[in-house]
Amino acid sequence: MENYFAPVLTDDQLRSISSIGLAHMGDAVFEILVRTWLCAHGKATGKGLHQATIHLVCAESQAEKAERILPLLTEEELSVFKRGRNAQVRTVPGHVSRAQYGEATALEALFGWLYLKGRKERVNELFCKMMEE
């Protein structure tokens, strides 16, 4: 691969990435989407941008927003989501339940998988559904 701004991995390459690896990628994808959304909607300025970002990318918020898109997932996407939810994480932050952390990890794994698969339009579609008020 030579263009890391627009990755497209094969199915074999994607299968070789652990759930935690997919979640690692998806965490970055989700955060950049949140930051873009906040800037584009004028939701916060200055220090408030950082606080608003933290609020939206925390595990509790991600878990709640993940519930909104579950009915929209294809079988393949749901399989990736479940794979992420079942990832073996060693530590869970004290302020979040293990179930919430699992849902947040699942969402991040899904977003990482879609991004690395080159399905940015689908990531955006799901993100927009999650952010509807």
Is 12 annotated in the active site? no
Number of residues written out for the chain: 133
Catalytic residue among 27, 77, 103, 108: 27
Read out DSSP for 72-131? G--HHHHHHHHHHHT---S---TTS-HHHHHHHHHHHHHHHHHHHTT-HHHHHHHHHHHH
Active site residues: 27
